[in-house]
Every structure is written in C-alpha cells, then in structure tokens.
Amino acid sequence: MPPTLVVDVGAWSLKAGYASLDSNNSCHVAPNCVAKSRDGKTYVGSQLSQCTDYGEMTFRRPVQKGYVVNWPAEVAVLDNELQILQCDTADTNLIITEQANAPLQLTQNLDQMVFEHFDFAAVYRTTAPSLNAYNDTRSLFNDPPLVDPSVSNPADALLVIDSGHSHTTITPLLAGRPINPAIRRLDIGGKHLSNYLAELISLRHFSLIDEPHIVSQIKEDACFLSSDFQSDLEAAKAKHSSIVVDYVLPDYETHHRGFTRPHDPSYRAKMERLGVKQPTDPLATREEVFPLGNERFVVPEILFTPSDIAMPQCGIAETLFQSLSTLPELLWQPFLANILLVGGNTLILGFVERVEKGVRMLAPEDMVVRVRRAENPITSTWQGGCRMAADQDLMKNVLITRQEYQEHGPNWVTRQFAVRRPTNGKDV
C-alpha cells in the first residue's frame, strides 16, 4: 500500500506528515494563513517563520468558522507544505479532516481539490475529533491496557472537546464514530479571545487592534482561567497583587517575542522622573511595557460564560450537557468518565480544572467525571490519524481512490464517505 499522509486542517495551523511509527517527531505544523508584512512581503504557511517583524502584519486565513472558504489561499498553503514534505501525491494516500456537518458544497470542494488539483492516489475524509479515538486514551485515563496494543481499536466511548481558533466543538464518539445529532458547537475560539484582549488593552493602554499576531502571543503568555473569579477580581485591585504582571512588547531588534515579568508599580513613576513622556522620547528605554491585571483571566472566562460579551450561548460545561441530553442516560457515564480536551485553547493555564469543575457541578452525583488533556493537544488529531493509518485492513475499507472519483463523480463520493466507516472488529 502507498504511504499515507495525514493532514489536519485547522483554522490557526495545518498539521501534516506521513504516518510512521515515530509519529511524534514527524508532524509538520505550519500556520494556515497567507500573511503580508508592512514592507509588502508575502509569507505563505511555514514561510512565516522567516519573518522578523510582525508589526502591522495582515493575515488571510482560508478557514473561517471551521470551514475552508478560500481555496486559492488554502491551495497556496498546501502546495508550500507538500513541497517541504517532498510529497509525491500521485503515489500517496491521504487522510484529511473537515468540520462536522459541513455543507455539501464545501465537502465537494474539498474532494475536488484533493483528487483533481493535488491528484492523491486515494483519500479518506473524516472529522477531526474522530481521529482522537485512535490515540492511546486508555493510558491517559489510567485504564488497563489493551491485550494487544498494536491493534488500532478506537476508544469505546470518548467525549471530545475541541477548542481551537474559530470555535469549540463537543463531539461524542462511540467506537470512533461521531454521534452527529449530539454534536454541539460553541462559536467562541482563540480568535474571539484575542479580539477581546486587544479591545481591553486598547481601552486601558494603547491600541493593538492592528496587531493580531502580537495579541495572540500576549494571550498565550499571560492568560489563565480563574478557579475563583470574584476573589481574583478583588485580588487584582491590590497594589502589590501577584495577579498583575508587566508585559514587554517585542521591539524586533533585541527580542522578537514579548514576555511577562513581575509587575513594577513604580515603573511609570521612574519614567516620569526621567522626563519620559512618550515612547518616542530620546530618554525612554527601548521597552514598551504595560501592566496586565484582570485581563489575564477575564478574557478566557468567555469560554465558560459567553454572556460576558453578550453572546447568547451557553458555556462549555452547559453545552456539553446539551450534547448529552440528546443521548440515552445509559450512555452518560461512559462519556463523562472519558472527556478528552484537544485544541490550542486547552493549553490555557487552568483549562482542565475549570472544565472538570463545571462538568462536576452539573453531572449527577453518582456519576464519575474524568477530564484529561491530550498529551499534545495541538497534534493529537494528527497522531490519531497516524495510528489509524497503521491498520491497512481498516484503511482499505475507508479509502476512495482517484479512479473511483473519476468514474463515479463527486455525488457518489459524498455518499460513500457517509456510509464507509472504519471497522476492525468493533461495531455500534
């Protein structure tokens, strides 16, 4: 069988690489965007790492609200990354992810691109959460290992919370298969957190509205989820609060990424004593510094209380129970005991604990609640695809070849992807 390339198409980043035994070291992560710097230079995908000045950079992202809506940009990114991977598509099978319950036209656009533009030998299109079921979740939840760990049996029951750049989805999986009527979506992701943070910083300090890359880094470096929101709100007001930190913006000469440091309440007074009134003052240091207080935990809080930004949706814990409410109560316990967190937002400090606390408060008292974050929540979906690809019998069952696409057309392919399901001795 030809080698298998696994591609997880995310709104923030693209994860791609050949399925191999050493999958941890072969995942290629690239920004899923086309960016233009203020000097007019264009960067496609992983070329962005060559940029030394992210100031006033503009971004074009092919994926919006979880769906690929700009195929010229996506093709440019994929072309660049496939060249880096030295991929001979005509002799390569492909596992590629898409958003659950995607509109027909968008799924057929994807099929057209992978078969007609890229000419892959065979393709399996699936939802991203489904692939996580093929990872070693048993050890993550401290369950007894399988008798034969080499067999790529998916987890019996898994409730995947995938919180990424554009949104958050909750997907119950039985033996690796999504229960589509129970899938729920919260329209808040990392993009909304960054926008809210930029708004707060701009109101309190100076405008970073046109600096999305820098704001995203501030979010990653400084934000956390509070275990006691009201208490931390009060603590942040104290003069010597441990919550308040100073953030030093990048100057793209001495350092290319900003960083936090302990808050110095006297910093501004020192600058004023030196006669420094504006950052452009010759007496000023090269640093641009501002304090971050309650912004650090108010911003990620909107994932759990969207009403804070007037969004008429429930938070993650409540949305999870909206999903469970569509299922027989007999299934609640296996799902509540196997909640897996993936996606970039789950790396926010305190995310795991906050999800577990929220779910525990809503769950029946006699039910066990276990919440775990994937070992690497960014590449977890891709790694699951690699483990799935290792089972050649399973892959033969789900792959659709380029010849079949050419013979039967896109409508037939759409129907086949709807009915072809991975089977390796398990069924639902």
Q: What is the pLDDT along the chain (428 residues), one digit of tens a residue?
A: 899 999 999 999 999 999 975 555 689 999 999 999 999 999 999 999 999 889 889 999 999 999 999 999 999 999 999 999 999 999 999 999 999 999 999 999 999 999 999 999 999 999 999 999 999 999 999 888 776 655 568 999 999 999 999 999 999 999 999 999 999 999 999 999 999 999 999 999 989 999 999 999 999 999 999 999 999 999 999 878 899 999 999 988 888 899 999 998 876 655 555 555 555 444 445 688 999 999 999 999 999 999 999 999 999 999 999 999 999 999 999 999 999 999 999 999 999 999 999 999 999 999 999 999 999 999 999 999 999 999 999 999 999 999 999 999 999 999 999 887 776 544 43
Residue in 120, 127, 113 with CA at minimum distance from that of residue 62: 113
Q: How far apart are CA 17 and CA 32, in angstroms?
A: 15
For CATH 3.30.420.40, the residue range(s) in the chain are 4-154+377-419
Q: Are 359 and 371 in contact (CB under 8 A)?
A: yes
What the block records as the tokens of 40 is: 């007019």
190-298: what fold?
Answer: Actin; Chain A, domain 4 (3.90.640)
What pTM value is reported for the model? 0.92
Instruction: Tabulate helix, strand, coil % of the chain (nearest 5).
Output: 40, 20, 40
Q: Please compute Rg for the chain using Cα positions.
A: 23
Residue 364 has a CB neighbour count (10 Å cut-off) of 10
Q: Note the pLDDT of residue 206.
A: 87
The SS3 assignment for 67 reads strand
Q: Are 242 and 263 in contact (CB under 8 A)?
A: no
Q: Are 388 and 421 in contact (CB under 8 A)?
A: no
Residue in 333, 401, 419 with CA at minimum distance from that of residue 370: 333
Q: What is the dihedral of CA 19, 387, 47, 249, to 10 degrees?
A: -150
Residue in 124, 138, 179 with CA at minimum distance from that of residue 385: 124
Q: How far apart are CA 336 and CA 367, in angstroms?
A: 8
Q: Note the pLDDT of residue 281.
A: 47
Q: How far apart are CA 128 and CA 340, in angstroms?
A: 13
For CATH 3.90.640.10, the residue range(s) in the chain are 190-298
Task: Compute φ and ψ for 246, nearest 5 degrees.
Answer: -95, 140
Q: Specify the CATH class of 4-154+377-419 in words.
A: alpha beta
